[in-house]
Amino acid sequence: MDQGHQEEEKSFWEKLLSIDRRIIFLFITVAVAVPLFFRLSLHIAVTPVAEGVYQAVQSLPAGSKVLVSFDYDPGSMPELQPMAEAFFRQAFRNDLKVIIMGLWPQGPLQANMALEEVFKDKDIAAKNLKYGVDYVNLGYTAGNEVVIDRMGHSFEESYPKDAYGTPIGEIPLMRGVRNYDNIDLIFNLSAGYPGTQEWVQYGVDVFHVKLAAGNTAVQAPSMYPYVQTGQLSGVLGGMKGGAEYETLLGIPGRAVRYMFSQAVSHAVICLFIIIGNLAYFSLRRRRKSQMEVQG
């Protein structure tokens, strides 16, 4: 190989290493957006941690009371909203009574959005669910983990009224609900603080509540130790967790649909990593051989 060609090849690797990030952004845009136009039925492998969530809900007899804490905002909606919708679907199909609350101000609104979507389901609409009897939205209360702790003694002290200002003593669903002793399962959807970690520390460890969770993909790995110790019945991690949950329910929804987009974007990132490493090693080998030649 002549010197000129070598120089040209070297500059090619160097150019590749210092590629304009806008080109990477363009590839990612295409990788994320284009698959959204295709409807491929990909095989979603279900993990035991996701199955734990499904079984925790499925094992409850009709009429059981579940508390759902919406601890996220719209930023995490693509990951957590499909989980919320799937959870409502499973709960309402199994005739469970759902109590909604939020430790994040935007949480109860996210719950309303999920309910709006779930009520479009013909099977659920046919049940003619009534607010205050089949489900209730307690709204948001400031206080983070102190709210969780206080609810262990009395729900009414943390939430004297629901989101619409009705005293909880006047809500049929809330009659007989004093504290966690009257709740069969807590499902927490969390994108950070306060979230699942606080529910484990203040709800599970102190009051021994049964807890399952849905987390963002970034947060989910830190919940695995809690699943192993049995403090969490299961955890849904990111969009994949949502897709697993939808697969278990047999109702493929948005999470399953978006998995193709996520799969392609992951593959493109991996491809970039491979190219980056090839360029790095090629340059390193060349520099090493140049140094050897120079003595």
Partner 1 sequence: MRREVPLVLTAIVGLTMIISHFIPPLNMLKDLFEDWFFIIAAFAIYLGILNLIRINADKVYKKRSDWPFGVVVILGFLLITIPGLFFSGGRSFSDLGTPFYYLYDHVYYPLSATMFALLAFFVASASYRAFRARNVEATMLLVAAFILMLGRVPIGDMITAWLPEGYRMGNAADWIMDFPQTAGQRAIMIGIALGVVSSALRVILGLERAMGGE
- Residues lying near partner 1 in the complex (CB under 8 A) are found at 19, 21, 24-25, 27-29, 32, 42-45, 47, 73-78, 106, 108-109, 112-113, 116, 139, 141-144, 146, 149-150, 153, 157-158, 163-165, 217, 221-222, 224-225, 228, 238, 240, 259-260, 262-270, 272-273, 275-277, 280-281
* Complex with partner 1: residue 59 or 228, whichever CB lies closer: 228
* Complex with partner 1: residue 60 or 72, whichever CB lies closer: 72
* Complex with partner 1: residue 185 or 260, whichever CB lies closer: 260
Distance, CA of 192 to CA of 169 (rounded, Å): 31
Distance, CA of 261 to CA of 279 (rounded, Å): 27
| Partner residues linked to 17 by β-bridges | none
* Complex with partner 1: residue 38 or 164, whichever CB lies closer: 164
In angstroms, what is the minimal distance from the CB of 5 to partner 1?
26
Q: Please state whether the peptide bond connecting residue 82 to the residue before it is cis, i.e. omega within 30 degrees of 0.
A: no
- The residue among 141, 146, 239, 161 whose CA lies nearest residue 199 is 146
In angstroms, what is the minimal distance from the CB of 76 to partner 1?
7
In angstroms, what is the minimal distance from the CB of 31 to partner 1?
9
In angstroms, what is the minimal distance from the CB of 282 to partner 1?
12
Distance, CA of 77 to CA of 114 (rounded, Å): 10
Which residues are within 8 A (CB) of 141 and not within 5 positions of it... i.e. 6 or more apart? Answer: 101, 102, 103, 147, 158, 159
In angstroms, what is the minimal distance from the CB of 224 to partner 1?
4
Distance, CA of 111 to CA of 68 (rounded, Å): 9
* Complex with partner 1: residue 169 or 225, whichever CB lies closer: 225
The tokens of 77 are what? 């909606």
* Complex with partner 1: residue 66 or 239, whichever CB lies closer: 239
In angstroms, what is the minimal distance from the CB of 151 to partner 1?
11
In angstroms, what is the minimal distance from the CB of 251 to partner 1?
18
Residue with tokens 């205050």: 132
The tokens of 99 are what? 């109590």
Supply the DSSP string of 149-218, one letter for each residue.
Answer: HHHTT-HHHH-SB-TTS-BGGG-GGGTT--SGGG-SEEEEEESSSSSHHHIIIIIIHHH---EEEEE-TT
* Complex with partner 1: residue 38 or 224, whichever CB lies closer: 224
